[in-house]
Structure 1
């Protein structure tokens, strides 16, 4: 009986350690985000801007974003903070979403912009050929765990 108990408890600790490693590795290896001057300069001439807020239905103490997001013809610039986590991606979507279920319902039509590697502001180049006016909302999504992080609607749908 003791061997079974020890095997179970050691396996449980191994699983918890592995899960924490997956979660913590991007945090520990994250590069420093762009400085405020770089973020400000990159957001100049923005066509659209919006705010990430913690007050969304899908946000919680582990999954949130706050601060401003600006879209130029060539870049998405975030000045603020994101909850740290692994495998964050930025998408553009045509309808405002505020939780996992809403994003999963339209993910096939979402436009992937790129990965987020920093949690204290980011600048992402918009891939060539993407018309930001065809979308209304910026979404930050955790691919590894299928978790909604935050969203900001930068224009009303037409």
Structure 2
């Protein structure tokens, strides 16, 4: 009985440690977020903007985003906060979705803009010759775990 209890407690500690490591590692290795000046400068010339809200159907206490995304002809700029996590990507999508199921339905029609490595704002270069008129919303998605983080509609 003592050995079983010892096995259970050690297995529980190992599982908790791995889970905590998965959550904390992106925070520990996160590069510095762009400063307010860089974000403000990059937002000039914005063609579209949208708000990311925390209360979307697919967001929860571990997976959320809150802030403002602006799109110019050459850059996507996010000013706000994202919950920390690994392997986040920004996608431009043809229609607004607010959960995993909705995004998975249109993922093949979406454009992966780039990897999001900072959680306190980011600046990503858009691919050359992109036509923003082909998209109406943006989604932050966790590739590693297939989790919806947040989204915003910038065009009807």
TM-score (norm. length: structure 2): 0.94
User: Corresponding residue for 2:51?
Assistant: 51
Report the number of matched residues.
156
User: Corresponding residue for 1:149?
Assistant: 149
**1:9 CA drift (Å):** 2.1
Q: Name the CA distance, whole Å, in 2 between partners of 1:45 and 1:38.
A: 14
Runs of 4 or more consecutive aligned structure 1 residues displaced over 6 Å after TM superposition: none
Q: How does 1:97-136 map to 2 (within 5 A)?
A: 97-136=97-136
Q: Identify which range, 118-127 or 11-20, moves more after superposition.
A: 11-20
User: Corresponding residue for 2:10?
Assistant: 10
Q: Name the CA distance, whole Å, in 2 between partners of 1:55 and 1:19.
A: 24
Q: Name the CA distance, whole Å, in 2 between partners of 1:130 and 1:16.
A: 44
Q: Name the CA distance, whole Å, in 2 between partners of 1:119 and 1:35.
A: 12
RMSD: 1.2
Q: Name the CA distance, whole Å, in 1 between partners of 2:26 and 2:73.
A: 29
User: Corresponding residue for 1:75?
Assistant: 75
Q: Name the CA distance, whole Å, in 2 between partners of 1:132 and 1:20.
A: 39
Alignment gaps of 5+ in structure 2:
none
Q: Identify which range, 32-41 or 4-13, moves more after superposition.
A: 4-13
Q: Name the CA distance, whole Å, in 2 between partners of 1:83 and 1:107.
A: 21
Q: Name the CA distance, whole Å, in 2 between partners of 1:26 and 1:117.
A: 8
Q: Identify which range, 43-52 or 1-10, moves more after superposition.
A: 1-10
Q: Name the CA distance, whole Å, in 1 between partners of 2:65 and 2:109.
A: 23
Q: Name the CA distance, whole Å, in 1 between partners of 2:145 and 2:37.
A: 33
Q: Name the CA distance, whole Å, in 2 between partners of 1:131 and 1:19.
A: 40
TM-score (norm. length: structure 1): 0.93
User: Corresponding residue for 1:21?
Assistant: 21
